[in-house]
Structures are given as structure tokens and as C-alpha cells.
Amino acid sequence: MNQERVVKTGLLGLGTVGSGVYKLVECQKDEMAMKAGAGLKIQKILVHNMNKKRKGVDQSLLTDKWEDIINDDEIEIVIEVMGGIEPARTYIKAALEKGKHVVTANKDLMAMHGHELLELAGENHCDLLFEAAVAGGIPIIRPLKQCLAGNNITEIMGIINGTTNFILTKMKEDGMDFGEALQLATDLGYAEADPTADIEGYDAGRKLAIMASIAFHTPVTFDDVFTEGITKITAKDMRYAKEMGCSIKLLGIAKNTETGIEVKVHPTMIPENHPLAAVNDSFNAVFVHGDAVDDAMFYGRGAGALPTGSAVVGDIMDVARNMLFHCNGRIGCSCYKNLPIKRIGDTTSRYYIRMRLEDRAGTLAAMAGVFAENDASIAILLQKETIENDAEIVVVTHEVAEKKFMDAIKKFSSMEMVKEISSIIRVYALGNI
């Protein structure tokens, strides 16, 4: 430990996460030397608006010129918390080329260009750490890269978006419809003014791409991930799920199968006895299966200034330790394989489907025939209510290829007896059924 050594950093961005990082560094400064082996100082902060007053922040540190950070030879670590692809990608590349270490919370960037940036970091013997890019304050990147490296990981499944989990929790527990729950999430600050990235599954998809790349040692980008959001989930679906002993969650699911990698984000029915079913409100959780560790789950706050800042500061301290022992770049890109990535149509699942059919003789037989033609066997069939001359039918299938199931749905859509296909939700498991 060298209590005289002070590591100087540059902070790119002072929004929600950047403010959290600044606050934590200030809170930890008296113990930083003991924890990391060296002191830590934020030397410059890149901001967009120099005139904006920022309570509790030393104004003399602010700059609106990124070159002031990149070209400062005293700055050894660049902390990127701006978000977005550009100009963050340009800034990080420039920092790495200058031999500066980088800590980032940028899931968008790492999901699209992580492989490129990690290779550049390796070429320059630099650290590029990004624990905060996935699941906020929950440690998952480092466990996948280090603690679980002795495993052949076959599956990652997680609730990795707090906004959608909050919405689905309110729909389940309070009987809210989607619009009502979304408005509450917005009012409480869980949802952005434009919630598209959350409710359509894009945010979760980016995080899943990052985890799958690490776990399966193969480059996986956001473009490889199938995404389906929660906008079509209804309070009625929540009630039916409860009747069957299930919860509906927006899950990111990554599997390493014999025929390739599956990466998909979609609403999923899971049994109430599954650990993920108990993850409510804005909390996140990641469930990992390895051949040695079996099942492990990581749970906590998946977003917010201080939880995300916690992960960023942890990475900064790790870089500082590596600097002291001259071992930066020891854990870089782990994508030494190039496994095929399956299209969604080539994956299999169980399905819940809710339909309105004509309430007349032969209708159920015709429906069952369409499923049979497409290799979809029925595990559960419920007729819950009659609306005028129509019957509402709920079906849960056994496992079937996605393409086959969707062919059945296309057939139903063209049949006069089918008045409405109200809902389709993938099912993870239903006990022994």
C-alpha cells in the first residue's frame, strides 16, 4: 500500500450516474488509500453546460472540452458515464490509444462495440472495466469473468430492467392495467419521459448481449438479441397466470445449446416457486447456471445514481490496484470462440395463448387440429368465460419450435372461427405439467 500515491481521474459526464460517482468518491476519499492502495482524485469533469450550477461539486473541475481530459498526462483513468454510442466511443478509443485506463457504465456502447474496445484496450495494455453497464449495483460482470471462470456456463436468465419489473409488479399486485402502471412508474421517476427502451425490451437486450458475450466466450451484439416488450400484457393475463401458479416477468434469457447460442428478451410466465418470481418492484436479479456451481443468483438494485455509482467506483478501485502492481490488462476480452447465434424461429419454448373463438360445436376440435398439424401438443386447455356468442380459451402448450408455433398462429389468424388472438406469452416451465 502506498498512501502517498494519488491516482488522478477524468470524469466524462455529470448526470445521474456521474453525480453518484462524484458523491461516492468524495465520501470514500478518507479510506480510499486503505481500500485501493492509493488515493483517488477527480481532476477534471466534462460537462455540456458550464453555466449550470451543480450543488456540492467543485466548479473549478468542470470543462466543456473533452481534449482537456484526454490530453492531460496526469489523468490515468477516464470514467465514462455519458451514455449513448457517440461521442462516447470516440472518447474511449482516444483514451485507450493514449494509454489511459477506462471505466464505463455504457451498456449501449458495450453491447454494440464492446469486442472492438476490449481488443483495443488489450493492444495498449489498458484496463477497460464495465461492471456498471449491467444491472447497476449488482456484481455480475466480474463474477462471470473471474469467480465463475471455472464453469461451463449454459444459461443466464434475469430480470435486468427495473422499470418493467415495477410495472409488472403493480399489474400483478394491484390489478392495474399496463397504461396505469406505466403512468405510476413515470410519476415516481422509474420510467423516462420516453420509456420505449425499457418497455420494448431494448435496455434488457443490450445488457443480455454483454452477459452472453462473457459467459459464452463469443461476440454477441444487441442486433443478435430477439426483443419483445411488455406493452401487450394485460391485467387479465396476470390473473390467468396467478391461477396457474405463475408470475409474468420480462426476462432476458441466454442459452448455450448444442446448435448455437440463444439470446432473447420477452415477457415470460415462470412458476411462483422459481427464485426470479419473488423479485419485485424495481429490483433486478440474474440467475446463472454452470456445470460446477449449479445455480447461482445475484440480486439487488439494478439502477439509480448510487447503486450504479457503486459499481463504477468499485471498478476504479480495481484499476488503481492493478496500476500499483503493474498488472493492468490482465483480464481483457474473453471472446475466444465464434459460436453460431440462433434465430428466434429456431428456438423452442412453451406458449400461453388466449383467444376468442366462436362458441359452437367443432371449434375446439378444429383448434386442436391446427396445433397438431404444427407439432404443438396442448398441456392445458381452459374455457374461462363466454362473451356474447364467443368463448374465451386459454391454452398452454408443451415445448414446440417457435417457427412451428407461429405457423399455427398464422393459420388461426385466417380462420373465421377465431375472433381474436388476445395474447401470446412464452412459458419458462410449469412444474410437472
Identify the bridge partners of residue 288 per DSSP, sorted by sequence position. 156, 296
The yes-or-no answer on residue 53 being catalytic is no
Place of cell 452472453: 212
46: nearest Cα among 13, 79, 76: 13
107, 170, 207, 249: which one is catalytic?
207
Q: How many CB atoms lie within 10 A of CB 422?
A: 16
Residue 107 backbone dihedrals phi, psi, to 5 degrees:
-70, -35
Q: Which three cell numbers stand for residue 83?
A: 451514455
8 A C-beta contact, residue 11 and residue 41: no
- Residues 116 and 120: their CA atoms lie apart, in Å, by 6
Q: What are the beta bridge partners of residue 295? A: 289
Cα–Cα distance, 358 to 392 (Å, whole number): 9
The kind and range of the H/E element at 28 are helix 16-28
Neighbours of 71 (CB within 10 A): 11
Give buried/exposed letters for 377-409 (b at 16+ CB in 10 A, else e): eebeeeeeeeeeebbbbbbbbbebbbebbbbbb
Q: Which residue has the cell 424495481?
A: 282
DSSP sequence for 367-420: HHHHHHHTT--EEEEEEEEEETTEEEEEEEE-SEEHHHHHHHHHHHHT-TTEEE
The continuous run of DSSP H or E covering 344 comes out as: none
Residues taking part in catalysis: 207
